[in-house]
Structure 1
Amino acid sequence: MKKTNKTIIDNIVKFPKKLNNGEREIEAIVFAALEPLDIETIESKISKKINVLKTLEKLQIEYSTRGINLVCISKKWSFRTSDKLSSLMSQEKTVEKKLSRAAIETLAIIVYHQPVTRAEIEEIRGVAFGTNTLDILMELNWVKPQGRKDVPGKPIQYVTTNDFLSHFSLQKLSDLPTVDELGSAGLIDSTNIDNAIFGTGKFYKEKQEEKRENIYENIDEMLGGTLSPDEEK
């Protein structure tokens, strides 16, 4: 009889420790949200005051070994399928909207030179692009207008959004490859590039000069890894 009891005990499934009501509320709120939530939004929805950040960090640990993980990108929290299981989801994946080469190159330029105007983008690419190129990137909510440059005409400047970071699983812009890393990967010729003028003040927090280099012919390979480029525009 003792042996039987021991067998039963050994075969009992060990479930995670129970969550308290506050933790369950936060878990449910983040799970049901249509988009990542910041701490302030979560605090406004729970029934009693608790340490939301500490609770989220606890839940993040609880879910770290499961098929669904709790992740934080740009200070916003959401549940996502574990990266280790992403291959299982490939057959369920919907067809991505195709981007033209012009759109991918434009996105690459905005990423590394933001805030940047339309004229500056065209100067770097060395060619004008269609009127809908920026519209497509804004429809995806990867790019948005942010202020106007203090020059004659006050042109609109463009920057990337938190949705861009989220789509490419980046915590922050500084997680992007540096000029040296891009050179090592063979995406650009870094031998003639000055790090001081490559990139944006927001990216490196360094001063910029007027000089621009057309070095984006192959960077679209980096950003286009999950996209299927359509014909060039």
Structure 2
Amino acid sequence: MARRAKTPVSFDAELSALPQELRWREWMGRVEAVIFASPEPVTREVLARVVGRDCSLDHLINDIRAELRGRPYELVAVAGGWQHRTRKSFAEAIQVATGLGTDDPKPLSQSEALVLLCIGYFQPITRGELSQFFGREISRDTIGHLRRLGFVAAGPRSPQPGAPYTYVTTSEFLVHYGFDTLRDLPDMEALEDAGLLSKDMLLAGDIPLGLGVEGEVDDPTLGLDDDPMVPDEA
């Protein structure tokens, strides 16, 4: 269990001695500095440690975002927190200069992307239910690869006979695809009503949400039957 960082006794979060405008500017600087220094999305609870009790973090974040307009990076809500990210319009410049972003560090095959998308919408869902949805067996290899990438984790046991494991998406899934919460996934019923998504489209590989295919990575030699990260289904 991660330990909470101790706040120095001398640290003044309230800044009550400062005029209101200067106090607000200092809080903005503190919040942006904490987010900038963190490799992971920073939660509201963490940010609340460096501002006064009466500070509205939502208003503070909005003011920081306003100041970042026109800058090559922005402050985004992702995985229940906030994170600095470069704007998509500068992706090509970054790739040319550094090579970063030219390859997806977590490539998915088309079948894996479809399975991940299905888990995202219908979680918690068992491997058997996934197989029924796609009309073919979804292998433990596929589930195992998604788990090793950190996109999927074991959920609660299903009430079905044999109590098989269910699968759910993780915070890493939200971070990788830029979602704050699962509520940010496009509404499935609305997509179906608009004719933009259906089971037939999923099976045909018409993948929304930026879950692009970066090359097939299915490997029949993975042999995950003995992998403790992939629970046996009863």
TM-score range relative to shorter protein: 0.5 to 0.7
Distance 2:37 2:54 in 1: 20
- Structure 1 segment 120-135 matched on structure 2, within 5 A: 120-135=129-144
Correspondence for 2:88 among 60, 75, 83: 83
Equivalent residue of 2:179, what SS? coil
Relative to 1, partners in 2 of residues 1:93 and 1:164: Cα closer, same or farther, differing over 3 Å?
same
- Structure 1 segment 44-63 matched on structure 2, within 5 A: 44=49, 46=50, 49=53, 51=55, 52-63=57-68
Provide the TM-score with structure 2 as the length reference.
0.68
Relative to 1, partners in 2 of residues 1:215 and 1:113: Cα closer, same or farther, differing over 3 Å?
farther
Partner of 1:181: 191
Partner of 2:202: 216
Task: Give the superposition deviation at 1:81.
Answer: 0.5
Partner of 2:164: 155
Correspondence for 2:151 among 116, 125, 142: 142
Relative to 1, partners in 2 of residues 1:101 and 1:83: Cα closer, same or farther, differing over 3 Å?
closer
Structure with a larger share of its residues in helix: 1
Task: Give the superposition deviation at 1:59.
Answer: 0.9
Gaps of 5+ in 1: 1-16, 189-212
Gaps of 5+ in 2: 1-20, 221-234
Task: Give the superposition deviation at 1:38.
Answer: 0.9
Relative to 1, partners in 2 of residues 1:30 and 1:86: Cα closer, same or farther, differing over 3 Å?
same
Partner of 1:105: 114
Q: Which amino acid aligns with 1:155?
A: P
Partner of 1:230: 216
Task: Give the superposition deviation at 1:163.
Answer: 2.8
Deviation digits for residues 57-88 of structure 1 (CA, Å, limit 9, x no counterpart)? 22121113211101112431000112332332
Partner of 2:30: 25
Provide the TM-score with structure 1 as the length reference.
0.68
For the pair shown, the structure with the greater C-alpha radius of gyration is 1
Equivalent residue of 2:42, what SS? coil
CA contact (8 A) 1:187 1:218 kept: no
CA contact (8 A) 2:75 2:82 kept: yes
Equivalent residue of 1:226, what SS? coil
Distance 2:161 2:180 in 1: 35
Q: Which amino acid aligns with 1:68?
A: Y
Distance 1:224 1:26 in 2: 30
Relative to 1, partners in 2 of residues 1:85 and 1:183: Cα closer, same or farther, differing over 3 Å?
farther
Q: Which deviates more from structure 2 when the two are superposed, residues 27-36 or residues 169-178?
A: 169-178
Q: Which deviates more from structure 2 when the two are superposed, residues 30-39 or residues 18-27?
A: 18-27
Task: Give the superposition deviation at 1:150.
Answer: 1.5
CA contact (8 A) 1:36 1:77 kept: yes
Q: CA RMSD in A?
A: 3.0
Amino-acid identity (%): 24
Task: Give the superposition deviation at 1:182.
Answer: 5.7
